[in-house]
Structure formats: C-alpha cells, structure tokens
C-alpha cells in the first residue's frame, strides 16, 4: 500500500470526534474558513454541556467564542431549554442575529409548539409559515379557536393521506367529526390506508367514529393487526361480509409469518366459514406456501411448485432453492434455479449455488467455469468461489481525485458546510448531518464527492461511506472502510481476544461509522449495543458507565462491543460467522436453526437462514472482515477459514496463515448488475 495511506491513517487518528483537526497538515483547516482551533473546540464542548441546562451559566465558559462558527448553537440550546419562560421578543432577537441558521429555525419551531401549549393562537398565527403535520394541525387549532370552520379539501385532504398523525391533530379531527366532515366513506378510506401500513392505533381510533353498526367491523380489523391468533379464533363468530373476510385474511397472513404450522391448522375453519373470492384464495395459498417454506415444512417444495405461475415471485423462487439447499437435494437446487427468469439466475448467489449443485452432481468442469466467473468479484460469493478454486482474491483499489481548489470554493461558498464539519469535529454528529444535508441540497455530484472527501479527511467517515456506495466509488476502499486509530479498535479487539478485522467489520456493518446510530431495537452507537447489555458488560469488566450516553462514546462502545463479541464467541468455539449470526439474530434463534438443520456446510447454512436481514448481515460481516484484513495486513485470511463447521473450534491464523491479494493489470470490464449483485457489490451499506 502506498506510504500515503499510512501517513493519512496516522493523521486521521487525531481527528474523529476528538475536536482536533490540527493533524491534517493544515489541509482541511486552511481551506475551511470556519474551522476552529483545538482550544476553541474544547471551550465549546464545555459551554455546550452548560447550555443544555439552560440559563446563562454557559456564557462565562463561552467568553471569546462570540465569533466562533458554532456560537449560535450554544445560545440556541439554552433558549430551547428555557422555552417556557421565553417571550416573542427573545425569539425574534435571536432569529434576527442568526438568520437562516438551523438553531434559529429550531428555536422558531420550538416556540411555535410552546405558543400552542399556551394556546396563544394569535401569537402562533402571527409567526406560523408551515412546517410539517404537527405545526399544520396547531395552525388548524388556532383557526378553530378563532371561530373558523374546516373545509375538508382545503384543510384535511393532505393529512387524511397519512396512516398516522401526531397528537396535535386529535382536536382537529374531533372538530372535523363534529362538523360532519368525517363521513363513513372518508373514515373507511383512511382505515384502509392504515391497515395497509399496519397502523393499529389509527384503525382502532377511527373505527369508534363509524356508525354503530360498522364499529364492530373496524374492531375486527384492528384485532387482526394486533392479535392475529385471537382474531382467527374469534372469526368463527363473525358475519360473512367483505371486510370481515379481509380481516380474517389479514390475520391469517400475519399468523403465517409468525407460525406457518398454526396458520395451516387455522385455515380449514376459516375456509368453510367465509365465501372467498378466487383472488383471496390465491393470496391465502401464496402466504401459506411462502411461510411454510420459510419454516422449512416437509411439504414446502411441493406447495411452492404447486402455486399458479402468476403467483410465482422472486421470493417463492428463492425459497424453493433455499428449501432444496437445506435438504441438500442438489438436483432440486438445479431445477429450482433453472425455473427462475434469467435475471434472477444470473445473480451471484444463485450462480454460486448452481456451481455447488453441479459440483455435488459430479459436473466439476461446469462448476469450475461458474466459479471462475465469480472469483474476480470483491464480494462474499466471489470470495467463496475463489476459495473453491484456491485462487487469490481480487481487490482492485482506486483513489478518488482530491480537487483542493474545488473543495476550497465549496467551503467558501457554504457556511453550512463549514458548520457541518465543525459540528462533527466537536462531537455533535446529528447536528452535523442536518447542516450537511441542507448545505449540499442542489449541489452537483462532483461537489458532493469533494465534500465527502473533505469529511473523510476530517475523520467524519460516514459521509464518504454513504457517498461512495455505488459506481466507481465502490473501489475507494480506503474511504469506504476506514481504519480509525484514535479509539483503539485494534488494541481493544486484542484485549478482548477477537480479530481486529472482524471488530472493524462489525462496526462498519452495524453503524457505517455513525457514532450516534440508534436502531428501532434500542441499540446504540458504533457496535449497536442495547443499554442493558452495555451496563452489564461495563460492570463485569470494570469499564466506565455513565448511563446510556456512554454507548455514544466511540471508545467506550468499542471496548464494550469487542468484549460482547468475545463472550458470544465463547458459545460457538470462537467461530466468527456463527457469532455474527447470533450477534444479529440472537443466540436462541441461532440455536433453533442449528437444531432444525444440523450438518449443513456453513455456506449452505447461511443461505438457509430464515431471516433476510440476518442472511445479509452474515454475508456483509464476512465480506467486510476480508476487506479489513487486507487493509490491516495487505494479505487476507480466506473467507472459508472464517467459516468452520458448527461445533468445530475456530483457530485464528498463525503467522503466515494469510494469502496474498491480487489485482489484474487489466480488470475485466464491469458487467450489467442485477439488483442482488448491486447489493452484494455495495455491501448493503
């Protein structure tokens, strides 16, 4: 690797969320007119912590920062904290001093909400200029308070198309009902929309406003969403009416997704109780067959193949292959792949498993020809194919062109971009991304690329990862797979006893280097730990813990995350791939799958994981581990070595256990990619 890479890494370890950009050899700092000094950034952090508590105590800590680019964030944070004590004069004064800034816009929105809370509708209307459903509903409340009436088309049509609305809209909808605007037809229109979106609360609340003879039907629909098994049990007492049939069908489909065998048992009673239209029967058969396959029922293949041709989808065809793989029925694997349209057959996954099936059938030459076509890909299946042929992996890195003059022009023309970089430098990534998105709206692709390189040079990695996720950017491995050293990933992984390349891969797959990432499952930070796990690990290993916020500190998150990996790995004889599956889906699910399908080769087992997310996660982790291994060692451990069979102890490579990586002098021209191949190539970033 060129010496520049080592030099850049040594510099970047000073940068990310540390508040110091001085290590950039002056490049970014000199180009950015708003870049602060290390002392200013540290002073800002101190003042920011005080500003979050409101009042004026922060001002003493911020003395001398009045001309610092981020100063408005300090005053804005304090004012928002004290919003209930503010008057219009204070808000307007701030907005006049800092016009067209996000802190000013945020304060304006917060003050509008406060005026609504105070029911100061004159004040609200005097400054309201739009801004989302919540404020729109407050504005309608204000008009109602002034004695105005609602017009459905003018005031409600836009809101009516939303499956869920904020609480601020409740009084407006109640007023619309009193005015007679919410006719049964309109109520059913929105109930149907909410059903499609799975918005149970909307279905239940609107159902209460229907005529009495229709309320029970809406309650059945809500129950189908909330409690499918209970709805099916109760359906024997429902009338045979169109919406009841739809509720029963919805409940059956949802139950099948959770437990296909239970849905199979429930179907005969429903089938005899209701009169089903042919299209509804098709939907039932499709759902029962698909989820029977996902549960690997004995008759799954027969049920999939028995579906009408017009009911066959990408999902049913893929599951026909997965069921055959789980049975190691290689002729059926070939048949199922052959039944796919050409575009689906040509994805890397199904090409690889076609080769596996041909190899199992004794057609080694045909299998090797397919492997050879895959082996040049820098993807999970490309690496697996290369292992089958014992070829070196092909990784062809490229470097983006850094246009310093263009970067400087971009910075000088955009104070928002300056603020975004500065916010990232002081450890406020959420605010930084907001400034970034606003600053780059309408910018050309070339400008966005140069901005992403600026962010990467400053140690703000997730911007480059996002920007270079397609096209030529896929070869910018240094930018897409950063080796941050400040938070000691290598050292912390070594302390925990896990492979640093694997730890890097987990960070990259879990959060794409967004230190404030948070999932719907309440997982936080770079390695996406839930607070309970973080607290337990911190106590167990004597690591610092100051509540959930600790998980937003990259160094703490990595220390806890690598130890969690090590603990999980202990359950699976150190196996990285099995541990990764458990990390994503949970140990109980993994054990259930291992018990149901013992003896499968690791590559086959991964392909038969029922959860799409976990299948993709496992392949990403394994692929990322190879790329990070290459970045760390310039050689790689083969992906098949990272995938010992279940029950076999994983032995980390000894010295010399890695193999070289090559890049052909003239890489093969890119081939048109299917959607799946694009996902493989982009590693689902």
Tell me the catalytic residues.
Answer: 510
Distances (CA, A) of 638 to 62, 175, 244: 53, 66, 56
Structure tokens at 555: 């160094």
Residue 507 and residue 492 in contact, taking contact as beta carbons nearer than 8 Å: no
Distances (CA, A) of 86 to 57, 72, 123: 17, 17, 13
Residue 481 and residue 634 in contact, taking contact as beta carbons nearer than 8 Å: no
Rounded Cα distance between 246 and 576, Å, is 45
Structure tokens at 39: 């002392």
Distances (CA, A) of 59 to 73, 80, 234, 344, 636: 12, 15, 64, 62, 53
Nearest to 409 by CA among 367, 361, 443: 443
Residue with structure tokens 């202990």?
570
Q: Cα angle vertex 480, ends 476, 486, to 5°? A: 125
Structure tokens at 570: 């202990």
Distances (CA, A) of 639 to 397, 477, 574, 617: 19, 18, 15, 15
Residue 420 Cα to chain centre, angstroms: 22
Say how many Å lie between the first and final Cα of the chain, rounded: 24
Burial 405-430 (b: 16+ CB within 10 A, else e): ebbbebbeebbbbbbbbbbbbbbbbe
SS3 state at 78 = helix
Distances (CA, A) of 293 to 260, 329, 608: 9, 15, 10
Residue 126 Cα to chain centre, angstroms: 40
**Beta pairing, strands 659-662 & 635-636:** antiparallel
Q: Answer left, alpha or beta for residue 601, where phi above 0 means left and psi between -120 and 50 means alpha.
A: beta
Distances (CA, A) of 261 to 296, 301, 669: 10, 15, 48
């Amino acid at each position: 690797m060129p010496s520049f890479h080592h030099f850049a890494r040594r510099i970047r370890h000073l940068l990310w969320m540390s508040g110091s950009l001085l290590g950039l050899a002056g490049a970014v700092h000199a180009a950015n007119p708003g870049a602060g000094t290390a002392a200013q950034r540290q002073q800002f952090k101190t003042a920011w912590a005080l500003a979050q508590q409101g009042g004026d105590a922060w001002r003493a800590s911020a003395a001398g920062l009045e001309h610092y680019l981020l100063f408005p964030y300090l005053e804005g944070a304090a004012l928002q904290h004290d919003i209930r004590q503010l008057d219009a004069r204070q808000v307007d004064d701030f907005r006049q001093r800092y016009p067209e800034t996000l802190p000013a816009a945020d304060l304006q929105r917060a003050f509008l909400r406060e005026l609504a809370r105070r029911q100061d509708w004159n004040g609200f209307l005097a400054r309201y200029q739009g801004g989302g459903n919540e404020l729109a509903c407050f504005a309608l409340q204000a008009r109602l308070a002034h004695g105005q009436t609602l017009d459905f088309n003018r005031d409600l049509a836009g809101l009516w198309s939303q499956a869920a609305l904020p609480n601020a809209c409740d009084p407006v909808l109640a007023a619309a009902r009193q005015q007679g605007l919410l006719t049964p037809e309109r109520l059913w229109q929105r109930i149907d929309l909410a059903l499609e979106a799975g918005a149970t609360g909307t279905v239940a609340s609107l159902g209460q406003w229907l005529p009495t003879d229709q309320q029970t039907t809406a309650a059945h629909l809500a129950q189908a969403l909330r409690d499918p098994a209970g709805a099916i049990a109760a359906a024997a007492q429902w009338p045979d009416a169109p919406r009841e049939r739809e509720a029963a069908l919805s409940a059956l489909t949802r139950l099948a997704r959770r437990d296909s065998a239970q849905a199979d048992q429930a179907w005969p009673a429903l089938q005899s109780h209701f009169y089903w239209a042919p299209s509804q029967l098709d939907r039932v058969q499709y759902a029962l067959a698909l989820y029977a396959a996902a549960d690997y029922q004995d008759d799954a293949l027969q049920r999939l193949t028995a579906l009408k041709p017009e009911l066959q989808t990408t999902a049913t065809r893929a599951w026909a292959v997965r069921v055959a793989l789980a049975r190691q029925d290689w002729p059926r694997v070939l048949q199922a792949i052959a039944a796919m349209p050409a575009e689906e057959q040509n994805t890397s996954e199904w090409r690889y498993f076609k080769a596996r099936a041909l190899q199992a059938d004794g057609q080694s030459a045909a299998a090797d020809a397919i492997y050879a076509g895959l082996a040049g890909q820098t993807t999970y299946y490309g690496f697996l194919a290369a292992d089958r042929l014992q070829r070196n992996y092909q990784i062809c890195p490229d470097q983006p062109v850094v246009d310093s003059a263009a970067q400087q022009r971009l910075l000088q023309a955009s104070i928002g971009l300056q603020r975004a970089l500065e916010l990232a430098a002081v450890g406020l990534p959420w605010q930084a991304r907001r400034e970034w998105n606003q600053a780059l709206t309408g910018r050309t692709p070339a400008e966005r690329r140069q901005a992403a390189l600026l962010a990467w040079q400053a140690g703000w990695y997730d911007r480059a990862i996002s920007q270079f996720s397609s096209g030529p950017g896929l070869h910018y491995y240094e930018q897409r797979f950063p080796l941050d050293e400040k938070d000691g990933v290598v050292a912390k992984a070594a302390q925990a006893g896990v492979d640093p390349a694997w730890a890097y891969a987990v960070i990259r797959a879990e959060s794409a280097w967004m230190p404030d990432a948070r999932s719907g499952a309440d997982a936080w930070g770079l390695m996406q730990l839930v607070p309970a796990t973080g607290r337990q690990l911190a106590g167990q290993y004597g690591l610092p813990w100051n509540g959930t916020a600790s998980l937003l500190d990259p160094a703490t998150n990595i220390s806890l995350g690598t130890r969690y990996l090590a603990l999980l790995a202990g359950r699976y004889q150190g196996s990285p791939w099995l541990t990764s599956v458990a990390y994503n889906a949970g140990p109980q699910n993994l054990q259930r799958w291992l018990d149901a399908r013992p003896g499968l080769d690791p590559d086959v087992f991964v392909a038969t994981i029922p959860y799409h997310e976990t299948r993709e996660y496992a392949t990403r982790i394994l692929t990322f581990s190879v790329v990070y291994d290459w970045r760390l060692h310039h050689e790689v451990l083969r992906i098949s070595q990272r995938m010992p069979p279940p029950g076999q102890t994983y032995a980390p490579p000894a010295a010399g256990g890695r193999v070289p990586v090559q890049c052909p002098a003239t890489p093969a021209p890119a081939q048109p990619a299917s959607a799946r191949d694009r996902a493989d190539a982009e590693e689902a970033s």
